[in-house]
Structure formats: C-alpha cells, structure tokens
Amino acid sequence: MNSREEFDKIANEIFFPIYEVIAREALGILGRKNGVCLDVGSGGGHLGLSVAKASDMRLTLMDVKEDAIIIANHRIKEWGLEGRTSTIVSDVRKINLPDNSFDLITSRGSIGFWGDRDEMKQAFAEIYRVLAPNGMTYIGKGFGSAELKAKITAQMKVLHPEWPQCVIDASNGFGVEDYANFLKELKIPAEIINDDRGVWIIMKKTA
C-alpha cells in the first residue's frame, strides 16, 4: 500500500462494508443521531461519511495529510453530503478546533500512528478537550464483526501477502493495556471494548 490513492481504493472496495457497521455501532452506543461529529484520521472520509449517512449529524473530517482531505472533499460531493460536512487538516496531537465542540468523535485505524507514549497521551487529551459535555468517543481499530474481519483478511492476503503484518510493523505497537494506562494517567473516564467488533475506546465527558 504505497500511495494514498491505492489506500483509498482498498478502503472504497475491500474495506467498504465495515464503515456502515462501525458507524451504526457508535451511534447506537451514543443513543442519538443528532449533534456534531468529528472523525479523526479520516483518510478519504469513509467512516465519518457513514456516520453522516446513518444520522442527522453534522460532520467534520480531520486528517493530518492534505492529500487525504483532498480525496475526502471529492467523496463528500460524490455522496451528496456537502450541506453538513466540512474538512480540516490538523494533527490529532494539537487539534485546531475549539473546546467542547463535538458530541461524537470517531476514528478507525489511525490510533496506531499517533506517535510515542507522550504523543499518544497528548492525542487522547486533545480528543477529550474537544469532546462536548454528554459526548462520547468511539476510537480504535477493528472490522465491526468477526465475519467481516475474516472476509477482509482473506481478500487482503491475495493483494498483499504481507498484510496485516506490514501494518503492525509500521504502527506504534501500543495495545489495550497501554491505552488504559494512558487514559488513567490523564484521569479521563473511559471504557475499552475488546471483542469481535475490535478495540474501541469510549471516553465520556459529563456535563
């Protein structure tokens, strides 16, 4: 997976079924379909736009890579969601958005690339800062279900025999226990899902 275009093509074809499943799971746990959502490390926008399609939420897609946001802007038009979707180029470790802004913050797959221990803590603190009172995060990694994971793994191994080891090797290597420790150190209330849906961090901010 050497280029942004190739990565987006895989997301738009092989990975496509997972985004609706993850979006609906996040909205179901949140318990409402209105408000404002931020998708962190959005890439071409599939997860955030799936949240928009499954709800009445207004969306902001955020990625540190400008080329990803260019692709996301095209997809917003393709999906007919210009009216309630915006984009921003920003780093998760220093989010250029106001405090208490988002009712739902989602992210799939980018968590492994947020840097070292201190950078990870900085990222979690920034996500919590922009989370609105009574808001919730659904950030992590996974495929939505065991069935989807098995299907996608089989397809990806045909395309890239080294997958998923190549992704694991490129990531920061942190896992569930690390995430729990970072959040505890930051005194951020959270629970972590670790099952067939994947690994998902649910931070909540009380009013």
**pLDDT tens column, 163-195:** 778 787 788 999 999 999 999 999 999 999 999
Q: Which two tokens stand for residue 25?
A: 């799971």
pLDDT digits 0-9 by tens, 123-152: 999 999 999 999 999 999 999 999 999 999
One-letter amino acid for residue 170 of the chain: A
pLDDT above 50 (res 1):
no
Instruction: Tally DSSP H helices, then E strands, for the chain.
Output: 8, 7
Q: What is the CATH number of the domain that holds 102?
A: 3.40.50.150
Domain count, the chain: 1
Structural domain of 174:
4-203
CA 190/CA 81 separation, integer angstroms: 31
pLDDT digits 0-9 by tens, 49-91: 999 999 999 999 999 999 999 999 999 999 999 999 999 999 9
